[in-house]
Amino acid sequence: MEEFATSFSDADTLCVLDIYPASEKPIAGITAEILVDRIAAAKRASAAYASSFSDAVASIAAVAQPGDMVLTLGAGSVSQLGPMILEKLETGSSPNQ
């Protein structure tokens, strides 16, 4: 957890969603909220927890500026976030609104 929390040193802002195990069992004491706290403690980047995709889209759209690079990283359905963020940035609306 500590090493992972410092791996985002080049990011200005992070939006962290829930951590889901793939084929492994969840690790006790490892949550998105704790990861956000560790990132903040390491003073590597501004980090916030988002409890849903719609919260993440709104959070990212609120801070993204022209010329910024927005990356989505993760597994599974996180690939759906890119198009949702892009639509919100282009139109100011969310596909869920």
* Per-residue tokens: 66: 């022209």
Annotate the chain with DSSP letters as a single string. Answer: -HHHHTTTTT-SEEEE-----SSSPPPTT--HHHHHHHHHHHTSSEEEE-SSHHHHHHHHHHH--TT-------SGGGGGHHHHHHHHHHHS--TT-
Q: Go through the chain and tell me how many residues it has.
A: 97
Position 96 scores a pLDDT of 52
Divide the 97 residues of the chain into consecutive groups of 10 and give the mean pLDDT of each group.
Answer: 84 90 83 91 85 95 92 88 94 61
**CATH numbers and ranges of domains, the chain:** 2-91 (3.90.190.20)
Query: How many whole angstroms from its chain centre is CA 81?
Result: 10
Quick one: 34 exposed, middle or buried, by C-beta within 10 A (0-12, 13-18, 19+)?
middle
